[in-house]
Amino acid sequence: MPHGAYLYEIPGLTPYQDAMAIQQDLAGARSQGAVPDVVMMLEHEPVISLGSRAVAAEELLLAAVDYTRRGIDVVEINRGGRSTYHGPGQLVCYPVLDLQDHGKDLHRYVHNLEEVLIATLRALGIDGRRMDARDLSGVWVGERKIASIGVRCARWITTHGFSLNADLDLAVYETFDACGLGGAAFTSVTEELGTPVSVEDVRPTIVEAFAAVFDAEFEPLPVAV
């Protein structure tokens, strides 16, 4: 029987720190059993986030660029992974789940997030894949990265999650060593299909894929929560 879960879709562009505050509130509520699993979906204002594995070389490269002038914030955060970009044209998903209901296995959880992304891309006509190297999480199209994953899990409650490039400006990836990949190429759904595909176009497909992979039955997050 599917798990009941809330879907929280935030319209417009959300400042990064606002989304982090909402996540923390939801994680606290989830840990107390006040709410079921909640999946947030949104678009961020332009931001580069530095995870726990971001290294000095990446930070030096970031320091060489005036991101403020470009309208991009740079923040240090408490998720795993290295550096990544979020901005308009990219769908971001933050699942706040209790992994005690999903096998208590963090590696399996990341694998399932990748499966959501691969299933979404398949439905859109794109062949997404995992990389063989264990430390290369996310989803790729050939040698081009299209989706990134960075998660945090505390007392089996998850925060952070994944991002899928729908129709964002890929030029930002030329300004820093995204994900510490040494300048690997990034791509988007629009780039692969050769036609504009917005976040709104992708959103229903990714919701359906998430529900299937995590055996969830979504309803909108009540305003009172």
* Residues noted as catalytic: 179
Reported as type and span, the H/E element at residue 151 is: strand 144-154
> What whole-number distance in Å separates Cα of residue 163 and Cα of residue 166?
9
Q: How far is CA 26 from CA 5, 112, 129, 132, in A?
A: 12, 21, 31, 34
- Token pair 């562009």 in the structure block, residue: 13
Q: Decide: helix, strand or coil at residue 125.
A: coil
Of the candidates 19, 13, 88, 78, the one whose C-alpha atom is nearest the C-alpha of residue 49 is 78
> Is the Cβ–Cβ distance between 48 and 83 less than 8 Å?
yes
